[in-house]
Structure 1
C-alpha cells in the first residue's frame, strides 16, 4: 500500500483509547497530561485502534503502550526506531507512533533516532524531554543544562546540552515541532504531526516532578505565558506579548531579533511571517536562546518528501515485476554441485 493512500477514518471516543491498566507514573508527572492529550487527539484524527501501533524503548515515557488501547511494543533501550521501521515495512497500513525520552532517544538510541529521521519513515516520533534520567533515579541526561546537580554530577554538569530539535534538523527531518505537557495547544501539534507524510518529530517538554521539578516553569507557567511563548502558525506573523512584540530578521547579522510592535503594525516593525517550509528560519528558531527570546513552540518546520517505505516497497515491486517465484530455481542458480554417494547416486 502506498503511504499516500489515507487510512480509513473510524469514529471513536477517548474511552476507546484507554486500557484497563493502572496508569503508574509519579503523582504530578507530566506524562499523565501527554497521555491524555494523545488519547484526545486520536479520536479527532479518526485513528483506528486496529491499525494503530505505539512503539517505545526504555524509560518513564516508554510505559506509554500499556495505556493506549491499540497495538504496542515495549522494546529495547534506544531501539524503538528500528522496531518501528520493521513494523512499517511489514505492514505499511499501520499508523506508527514512536514514544521515547531524552535519554532513550538522544543517548543510547541517538543513532537509531538519526536513521529513522534521515530515512523519513512515515511515523510520529514523540520525544519527552525532562532533561533528566527519571526511571534510573535522576542522573543527568544529554539534554540536562550545564550546572545540573545529580547523582552522577554532584558538582554540576559541565556538558553542553544537546538540542533535540537541532539534532532532528541536522539528521534531515522534514517535520519539527515543539510543545509541552500541560499545554492546551499540544493536541493541535500532534494533529499537525499526524497529517505530515513522513517522519514527524515532536519534542515535548515534560515536567519530572521528582528529579527535575518545574524545570520549564520559566516559559510554561500560565502567568505571563504570552510574554515567554511564541506559538508559531504557518502564514501568520511571529508575534508574542499580546501582539506587542515580534521576531524579525537582522539582515546584516543573519540572525533573529526581538522587535517592538506599535499600534499593531507588525509589518512596519519587520516581523517575519512564519513559513513552515523555510528550513533556514527553522534552524534559527530552534537555536533562539530563551530569555532574550521567547520559547518557539508549535510547528517549526514542515516540508514533506517521499517516505522510506514507499521507496523500499516500490523498489521491491519493481524487482518482482514480470518474474515468477521459483525457490528451486533460485537455489540452483550460480555455482552449484551435487554430492553423490559411493554408488554414484545423488546423496
Structure 2
C-alpha cells in the first residue's frame, strides 16, 4: 500500500481538459476509463499521484489523467519513476509502458525496476505490435505475424511479459485485458501490494492487430476460455465444468473435466498467490489447450528498494553534521595568499 491519506474524489476529478486522441476503437480508451474509475475507489489524491510513461500509444496516458505526469524517453520510464520514488517516496507512482517500449529498448530498465522492487504500479499494455510507428512486429508479436518489418511472417519467438516479470524477480504479477470488468480488481490488488506490481494488460490495436485476442477477450463468447484466478479458490473455468490440475509425474499443469461441481475429486488446484513455481507454470500455459490465466497470478511482498535506500542514508548520516563548508575544508587543503601582482 502506498503511504497516503485517502481522500474522496470522483471520475471527473481524474479527467483532464485534453482531447483524448487514440484511434477510434482502440483498447486504450477502455483502460483509461478503468484507471480513472479505480483511482477514486483507492482514495487516491491527484496532488500525490504521478503517472510516468515512455514512448508509444500507451505513453499518451499522463496527458489524460488529472495528476502529475511525465512523458519521458523511449524505454526509460522506469529510470524516471525510480528517481521520483527515491526523491519523494510518499508519492503514488504509476508507470505506463507498452510491449515495444517496455520489452525492446526498455527491457533492461524494466528488468531493474522489477528486481529492485521499487514501490509502484507498472501497467504494460500488450497489443503484440508497434502501433505508433505504423504496425511493425514487436517483441511480443506471434510467430508468423505479417507486418511492414516482417512481410513474410515473423520468425521470432515472442516474449511473454508476465514470464519476463517473474524471471526479473517481480513480487507481484497480474493480468487483465482492456474491456474486462475485472480489470479494476487487478489494479486494486496491484496498488495494495507493497513493491513493484507488474500488470500485463492485453490491448486491442484496432488498426494494425485487430481482434488478435478475441479467442479469450472478445466482449461476448470468450468467457469459457478465461481462467480468473482468486487466492484460496480452485482454478476453475468454463462455468466450473473444467479446471487446472497438476500432473505430478510430469510436473506440469493439465486441464481436467469437473463433474457435478466436484473439483476436489478431479484434482483441481487451489490458487495460492505466494506459490512462485505454479505462477511460472500459469504464465507459460499455451493458450488453446489451456485457458488464458488472468487476475493476480503472484503476490508475495518483500521490503522495497526505496525503504532500503532510506535506511542506508539514515545510518550513513547518523550523528553527523550537515555542514557543506566544513566538508569542503576537510582533508588536504591549502590557502593561497598574496596579491594579484605576486608570482604564484
TM range (shorter): over 0.9
Residue 246 of structure 1: which of 243, 246, 252 is its match? Answer: 243
Partner of 2:37: 40
Partner of 1:273: 270
Partner of 1:258: 255
Partner of 2:113: 116
Tell me if 1:25 matches 2:22: yes
Tell me if 1:102 matches 2:102: no
- Residue 345 of structure 1, CA deviation: 9.0
Tell me if 1:165 matches 2:168: no
Q: Distance in 1 between matches of 2:114 and 2:303?
A: 12
- Residue 221 of structure 1, CA deviation: 1.4
Partner of 1:147: 144
Q: TM-score, normalised by structure 1?
A: 0.96
Kept in 2: contact 1:339–1:346 (CA 8 A): no
Q: Distance in 2 between matches of 1:46 and 1:223?
A: 32
Q: Distance in 2 between matches of 1:142 and 1:227?
A: 28
**Secondary structure of 2:264 counterpart:** coil
Q: Deviations over 1:14-66 (max 9, x none)?
A: 01000000000000000000000000000001000000000000000000000
Residue 8 of structure 1: which of 5, 12, 33 is its match? Answer: 5
Partner of 2:124: 127
Tell me if 1:194 matches 2:191: yes
Partner of 2:64: 67
Kept in 2: contact 1:143–1:161 (CA 8 A): yes
Q: Name whichever of 289-298 and 328-337 sits farther off.
A: 328-337
**Secondary structure of 2:181 counterpart:** coil
Tell me if 1:292 matches 2:289: yes
Q: Distance in 2 between matches of 1:142 and 1:5?
A: 32
Residue 210 of structure 1: which of 199, 207, 211 is its match? Answer: 207
Partner of 2:55: 58
Aligned residues: 344
Q: Distance in 2 between matches of 1:142 and 1:69?
A: 31
Partner of 1:324: 321
Q: Distance in 2 between matches of 1:65 and 1:287?
A: 32
Q: Name whichever of 146-155 and 327-336 sits farther off.
A: 327-336
Kept in 1: contact 2:204–2:210 (CA 8 A): yes
**Secondary structure of 1:161 counterpart:** coil
Q: Distance in 1 between matches of 2:186 and 2:200?
A: 10
Tell me if 1:156 matches 2:153: yes
- Residue 325 of structure 1, CA deviation: 1.1
- Structure 2 unaligned segments of length 5 or more: list them: none
Q: Name whichever of 317-326 and 51-60 sits farther off.
A: 317-326
Q: Deviations over 1:63-108 (max 9, x none)?
A: 0000000000000000000000111111111000000000000000
